Structure 1
Amino acid sequence: MGLIEDLMANRYLITPSAYYLLVDSYKKDFTLAELIKFARARGTFVIDSAIAKEFLSGKGPAPLEPPAGEGPPELQETVEEIPLESGESDELPEESSDFAERVPDGVHVAEPGDVMGSSGGEPPTYISTGNPGESAVETASFSGSGLGEPEYSGGESFISTGTLPAGGDGEGPVGENVSAGTPGEDAPLETFPMENGAVLRSEPAAGGQAVVAGSAFPENGNGYTDDESYYSDENGNGVKPKIVYGDYGVPIAYVGEEVPEEKSYSTYADVVIAPREGFHYRAREIEDDWELVFDVKNVKFEVPKVKSAASKEGEIIVKVYSDYFKSRLRKMRRILRENPELGSVIDIGKLGYVGGDEEVTIIGLINSKRETAKGFMFEVEDSTGIIKVFINRNNEESKKFFQIMPDSVIAFRGRYSGRGIFFANRIYLPDVPKFKRDKPPLEEKVYAILLSDIHVGSNKFCEKAFERFLEWLNGEVNNRAEEELVSRIKYMIIAGDVVDGIGIYPGQYNELEIPDIFDQYEALANLLRNVPDHITMFIGPGNHDAARTALPQPGFYDEYARPLKKLKNAVMISNPAVVRLHGRDFLIAHGRGIEDVVSFIPNRSHHRPAEAMLDLLKLRHLAPTFGEKVPVAPDSEDTLVIESVPDLFQAGHVHVMQYKMYNGVFLINTGTWQAQTEFQKMVNIMPTPARVPIIDVETARLRAVVRFDEYCEGV
């Protein structure tokens, strides 16, 4: 095989001038592998004369290029005309999905692998290489077998859809020709479809030259280009081509590289909101009283102990998760034992010492559960053993079967059969007590704002609504009632997804207004700096943030969230965290555990997140199921257990505001500041953006909801 065929078989191209520089030395002074390696090192798949000269310079003296008018006969300047058969139209149809239908019989369109020839006949429609007297542009075509020598023709290149006048000078009505000369001012864009959906596209380029993209060897109007820019974009800038191959690896056409456009965006540096002159903030006069009761960053995890230095990495991971579930079981047993109804608790491994008529209680992890013909069967495990637990469906307690998630810790009271099955008549969830002690009242009313899922950086971020909210915080209120609320706001809690992040889901780039993660945090900091400085902000991460993906999330990565940490009135917290405000405990979690609740518990939905939060509260765990939608980090201690009963439980994540009261605990999902995204449309989630719940800290209950959704586009 020849040089051209060998290169094409490896998806490389060569210009005619480079071919005649290299062909005599091919397989004598250099091999194909050397040439391809040289081209690859320079980042190109088209070998032009510059590449060829540079390559040969390392091999010895470069052969001289044949002067114009000399060399093989195929290089002599000719005009090749391809006539139509008589009776055919002299214009191509404007629209067709099939290329063969667009080319009349008798017209042959040159492709790689074709040899072009001349024929006589009636006045033809031409696909011509132009006037030989004006230029010496070289065009190559290859034989259909791939073995024949290439034929070349010279002349000025143009594509004509009209009848060429006698003499073939390439002149004709404006709009019919796309030539390498200066086109008419109104020369239209012409498009010619090719195989596999590729498009042969010709349009006037910058400087009046026509650029023909799609031929095997693109031109610049003065001959073959010797650099890596083979055609110009709409701004006249050089663009490296990308080749499209046919069914047999033959290059068909060049198409432009898809380079994402640089987005111009704002990081809200110009958003400066000053407090309203004369506005009285009563909260400034109230002394700060907050404490970070629980934060993952403050938990010191023990490094797992392995048998020897030769232990495998997998053994270490198994050991860590073993410690993780032992930690969960230990904490849950302590919580369940606070229930006076449990009675005597015994380890599963000691059930063999219990008489068949004696009623006892076991506590264990739910490995699995299933429904049978007569009732419900669980596989329960503790640190001493595993046992099957059965409860009859006629028992009223069996309804709790549907509230139990895999890997949660549950207590069963009943009798041991002695045959490896425990027959339960009562099921106890960890739950929260029905009554709580009253806490002393506060001297003055103090309010806290709860937010989540701001998603700064998304093109669905309700920026106008958020700026209006900031103005409201700075005293731009509508009435005396709002003035009273704003004047007593002393705390703000943001429960994760403060920015939209980068690469969180496929195609996210197209939905980003700010495509840089550093700029997203800069933008958020520029907005939050307008929060009055007497309001303490507690900011935690979510799954969209620059933080550890798996739960729990100790906090933001410093290099990304540095602008937030520079805010004087901001406190970075973990996910989850417990913040104590004036003696009231606020449990703050982003709320990813809701995803598993919706998957495992019937009649749960993203549209009613407070109900899913209630299920988690009853199980006293923020993400009980392991290995499903919610990733859990291999920590030696389970910090997702709700060890102490909070006064308020806040979450977000699902973008829907809902609140609920249960046994003295106020549960609230705080919605979002992002309008409905394309993904939410697909899964039929209707967000409730730009709503601000205001909590009375004394009662840990909702005081009011202020809505700014009228300023949110797309709502």
Structure 2
Amino acid sequence: MCAVKEPHRKAIEEVISQGYQISPQAYKFLLSQPSGDVERLVSLALDRARRLGGVFVLEPHHFTPEFEVVEAKAPVDSQMVILPQPEAVSIGSAQGYLRLFQSRFQQLESIMKSRMDLRDAAPLAQVLKLPLKVRFKTIAMVADKYTRGRRLFLELESPEASATAMVSDQELVSKALEVLKDQVICLEGIRYNQGLLIANDLIWPDVPLHQASRSEKDSLVVFTGDLHIGSNYFRRDLFQKLLDWLNQRLGPRPSRELASKVKYLVLVGDTVDGIGVYPEQLGELTISTQLGQYEEAAQLLEGLPKHIETLIIPGNHDAVRRSLPQPPIDEPYAPSLYGNPPLPPAPNPPHLHKKGVKVLVAHGTALTDILGSTPGHDFHNPITAMELLLRCRHLAPTYGLNTPLAPESTDRLVISQVPDVMVMGHIHIYGSKRYRGVTLVSTGCFQDQTPFQRRMDLKPTPGIVSLFNLRTHEELPLDLESLG
């Protein structure tokens, strides 16, 4: 065995002195790096582990340069900060998707192994060498899921091995029906024979009981989205009511006092209806150019009070790529949005800090993947699918359904930090709940029921916006339709 070089030895000692361990894979990765790079890589990994919190074992992805942060974008006096995210290179090939799923597995394995009850999880390749009937825990990605009679089977993969797991206990089968393809789970069970495992339990990455951060003063955020400006079905009258309420020109005195506390407006995508998004869309548009739609949006947003900071992220109808994660709406397609509102358009998803409160915002395209195919979930109650994504610690786990994924070197859709608030739109139905200390909000919309939604028997909730208090974490709906 070759002796460890002095720079590598010192770097490993630094990791241990800071209270962290190094996984065998990370150890091999570090030894393979040039001596001149290891100090920088270790510093990078330690900084990232501290930011994530709950990390005890450093994995290879903690050391990779793709995790270098970019400058947060916000006005000098802004209280809403877009947190820096790991940079990632898009690789337009099968190799790109391989790196994407490797990154996902490494990140989620690290999250799961930080839990006390999962630290003894063994690699899948090691589990397959155990004697028969021996109990184990292993972390793997679900490549496929299918049923045969009353039994359910999971095809599991890890970087070094693959196996089939059988679920026969009916209570556990009901639980396993919620497992999504391409998500990472921990399976507890026994080895039955060559390549076949018997599942006794399935454990999601999930979030721990969370003590949410709070601002010192009362400040309200309005969460809404799916305006679909340019559509025949856009409810301009309701959006004008929102503007009038925010300007304290509408509603009884207590309601107007509430409006005076609003400091932020977050639009969670599909601000405009777009062009060519679906067949026969042209016949359902009042504004038939993308530039015209964004100009109309900018003119409407000029009616906001000047003290309100506004954040706009893209959705599947906006002028960006459909693959997640989406970049901000580009200035050439929407020049009128830049410089007004105060913050330029943000990516989907952005991770925000508002006066110390961590807010995860996403358009929510992947909700349709769950609501259309997962037992126990339907389009009338999208908040349950949001909870499932949070339990998966991923914003779009499944590849190959309705939500395209970009083949990037780093999976930026992993929910690495536990948010205080998680907000999504896309389904056009308002809802909220608290899950393990995290507030979940499904936003309403400003678009009436479309012919497509009528065929789907989907009843949207136009004009219902979410008000969230950053100090108390109280969330309540404001129904603009009934506000006079």
Q: Partner of 1:417: helix, strand, or coil?
A: strand
Which residue of structure 2 aligns with residue 709 of structure 1? 481
1:545 paired to 2:318: yes
The equivalent of 2:172 in structure 1 is 397
Match of 1:191 in 2: none
Please, what TM-score do these two structures have when normalized by structure 1?
Answer: 0.55
Do structure 1's residue 370 and structure 2's residue 146 form an aligned pair? yes
**Mapped pair 1:387 → 2:163:** yes
TM superposition shift of 1:343? 4.5
Question: Aligned residue pairs: how many?
Answer: 408
Q: 1:504 to 1:352 in 2, by over 3 A?
A: closer
Give 1:484 shift.
1.7
Q: Equivalents in 2 of 1:379, 1:602: separation in Å?
A: 19
**Do the aligned residues in 2 keep the contact of 1:343 with 1:361 (CA within 8 Å)?**
no
Q: AA paired with 2:437?
A: G
Which position in structure 1 is the counterpart of 2:211? 437
> Which consecutive aligned stretches of 4+ in structure 1 deviate over 6 angstroms post-superposition?
none
Q: Flag structure 1 segments of 5+ consecutive residues without an equivalent.
A: 1-286, 305-315
- The yes-or-no answer on 1:300 pairing with 2:87 is yes
1:521–1:687 Cα change, 3 Å: same
Which string of whole-angstrom CA distances, capped at 9 and with x for unpartnered residues, describes residues 165-210 of structure 1? Answer: xxxxxxxxxxxxxxxxxxxxxxxxxxxxxxxxxxxxxxxxxxxxxx
Give the Cα–Cα distance (whole angstroms) in 1 for the partners of residues 250 and 482 of structure 2: 15
> Which residue of structure 1 lines up, in the alignment, with residue 64 of structure 2?
none
Structure index of larger Rg: 1
- Rounded Cα–Cα distance in structure 1 between residues aligned with 2:113 and 2:204: 11
The answer to whether the aligner puts 1:491 opposite 2:264 as a matched pair is yes
CA–CA distance in structure 2, aligned partners of residues 508 and 520 of structure 1: 14
- Deviation string 1:426-482 (CA, Å, 9 cap, x unpaired) is 21011111x22353x543211110011011111111112211221221120322211
**Partners of 1:589 and 1:472 in 2: how far apart?**
25
Who is 2:239 aligned against? 466
User: Cα RMSD between the aligned structures?
Assistant: 1.9
- Unaligned residue ranges in structure 2 (runs of 5+): 1-76
User: Aligned partner of 1:336: which letter?
Assistant: M
User: Which secondary structure state, in structure 2, belongs to the residue aligned with residue 600 of structure 1?
Assistant: coil
Does structure 1 conserve the Cα–Cα contact (< 8 Å) formed by 2:265 and 2:311? Answer: yes
Secondary structure at the aligned position of 1:445 is classed as coil
Distance 1:303 1:502, change over 3 A: closer
Report the Cα distance in structure 2 between the residues aligned to 1:302 and 1:683, rounded to whole angstroms.
38
SS at match of 1:349: helix
For the residue of structure 2 that corresponds to 1:541, the secondary structure is coil
Checking the alignment, whether the CA contact within 8 Å between 1:342 and 1:413 is kept in structure 2 is no
Contact 2:90 2:406 (8 Å CA) reproduced: no
State the Cα distance separating 1:571 from its structure 2 match: 3.5
> How far is the alpha carbon of 1:684 from its aligned partner?
1.2
Alignment of 1:83-102 (within 5 A): none
| 1:289 paired to 2:79 | yes
Q: Tell me which of 357, 375, 379 is aligned to 1:584.
A: 357
For 2:368, the aligned partner's letter is: E
Partner of 2:195: 420
Structure 1: distance between partners of 2:198 and 2:228: 50
CA contact (8 A) 1:610 1:659 kept: yes
Q: Which residue of 1 aligns with 2:7?
A: none
User: For residues 466 and 438 of structure 1, what CA distance do their matches in structure 2 show?
Assistant: 31
Counterpart of 2:471? 698
Which deviations, in whole Å up to 9, do the C-alpha atoms of 1:39-75 show, x marking residues without a partner?
xxxxxxxxxxxxxxxxxxxxxxxxxxxxxxxxxxxxx
**Aligned: 1:667 with 2:423:** no
Structure 1 residue 322 corresponds to structure 2 residue 98: yes
Does the aligned pair in 1 maintain the 2:212–2:438 contact within 8 Å?
no
CA contact (8 A) 1:379 1:387 kept: yes
Maintained 8 Å contact 2:430/2:465? no
Deviation at 1:619, TM superposition (A): 1.1
- Judging by fraction of residues, say which structure has more helix: 2
Q: TM-score, normalised by structure 2?
A: 0.81
Give me the whole-angstrom Cα distance separating, in 2, the residues matched to 1:302 and 1:470.
40
Letter in 1 for 2:105: L
Give me the whole-angstrom Cα distance separating, in 1, the residues matched to 2:78 and 2:342. 12
Whole-Å Cα distance in 2 between the matches of residues 352 and 706 of structure 1? 55
Residues 403-424 of structure 1 show CA distances to partners (whole Å, capped at 9, x for unaligned) of: 1011111110122234211222
CA distance in 1: counterparts of 2:212 and 2:269, whole angstroms: 30
CA distance in 2, matches of 1:682, 1:436: 40
Q: What CA distance in whole angstroms lies between the structure 1 residues aligned with 2:90 and 2:381?
A: 40
Determine the C-alpha separation between the residues in 2 that align with 1:584 and 1:334.
Answer: 24
Task: Specify the SS of the correspondent of 2:372.
Answer: helix
Provide the C-alpha distance between the structure 2 equivalents of 1:393 and 1:636, rounded to a whole number of angstroms.
Answer: 38
Q: In 1, distance between residues paired with 2:248 and 2:167?
A: 60
The aligned amino acid for 2:173 is S
Partner Cα separation in structure 1 for residue 207 and residue 307 of structure 2 = 35
Query: Highest relative contact order (Cα 8 Å, sep 6+), 1 or 2?
Result: 2
Report what 2:426 is aligned to: 653
Q: SS of the counterpart of 1:685? A: coil
